[in-house]
Amino acid sequence: MYVRFLTRDVKTKPVKLAQLYSLAQMLAELKKPDGTKATRLSQQLVLLAMHRKQRAEQLIDYYGVNLLSGCLPLFAMRCNPPFLPCRAASFCPFCRARCVTKDLFERVKTVLFGSEAEYDLITAKQQQFVLCAEMNIAELVAEAKSKLSEFQQKLNMPVAGAFSAVAVEPCGSEYWCLHRRLLLVIEAGQPFALPKSNATAAYQRINYEEPSLAYEKRVAMAIGKLTSYTPELLFGSSKLTAELLNTLLQGRGRSPRLSRTYGVLRNREERKREILAHKGTT
């Protein structure tokens, strides 16, 4: 595979920085064929593209999962053989960064820098483990979808907007792991005591500042970490990954809705559809 990257501006452009941080944990662990760690970002991205392709081909050949074997790597200008983005964000680390991380960053940026109101941000992540024997994956996904707002409700605070999501991945051969992600937009200076972070939950507050590149980059890094890719999809149990993806990739290859935005984080089209849907029920 030949890939030409444009990476010189990754650490200066906040949106690219957010995407990079969504993959940072996994990129740092990748090793070259000789067993040494890849240190250059372009090398890491090529290795990740190779792992993604091998995993996709394995899932297609042995489990019949409906995936494209190749995808255009993140930050790539040219790729041979030529690939387009696969847009399978439930599986592909590159398209997770493109479709989830970038979208959320752009929404938050519009709220923080495109309105007169001043807001603080709160990010929260929580892990939950479920025995495979206790619940099949279809039931688990359906339950996760129905409880998207549960994490936010537990914090019990007034918000101007929110992003809530659940990512599911296999954990070993016996467990499913649910990664609950939450971003809250609250009035700047609003008093609120965050719960203490622990082994299964992490919380962070980003206070409002006057617009600057440094502040925008801090927001980008926080969003990248919040939407980080779950590496077990590429390196964990093939059987469980196939079960998960066959549940998620139904109907035109699109996943069930395991994320939702509220309030000021909703864009104009989403608000318009919400108003029309409300009028249709009254």
> What does DSSP say about strands 201-206 and 76-80: parallel, antiparallel, or unpaired?
unpaired
Residue 16 binned pLDDT confidence (cut-offs 50, 70, 90): very high
Question: What is the SS3 string spanning 90-158?
Answer: CCCHHHHHHHHHHHHHHHHHHHHHCCCCCEEEEEEEEEEEEECCCCCHHHHHHHHHHCCCHHHHHHCCC
pLDDT at position 51 is 92
112: nearest Cα among 259, 261, 219 = 219
Lowest mean pLDDT among 90-104, 178-192, 237-251: 237-251
**Pair of tokens at residue 173:** 């051969």
Residue 274 binned pLDDT confidence (cut-offs 50, 70, 90): low
Model confidence over 43-97: pLDDT tens digits?
Answer: 899 999 999 999 999 999 888 888 888 899 999 887 777 788 888 888 999 999 9
pLDDT at position 258 is 86
pLDDT at position 254 is 47
> What's the chain's average pLDDT?
87
Model confidence over 200-214: pLDDT tens digits?
Answer: 899 999 999 999 999
Question: Helix axis angle, 213-226 relative to 14-29, nearest 10°?
Answer: 40
Model confidence over 28-42: pLDDT tens digits?
Answer: 888 888 888 888 899
Gyration radius of the chain's alpha carbons = 19
Residue 251 binned pLDDT confidence (cut-offs 50, 70, 90): very low
CB 102 within 8 A of CB 124: no
**Pair of tokens at residue 67:** 């995936």
Question: Helix axis angle, 102-113 relative to 14-29, nearest 10°?
Answer: 140
Model confidence over 120-165: pLDDT tens digits?
Answer: 999 999 999 999 998 889 899 888 888 888 877 877 788 999 999 9
Strand extents, DSSP E, 36-93: 76-80
Residue 181 binned pLDDT confidence (cut-offs 50, 70, 90): very high
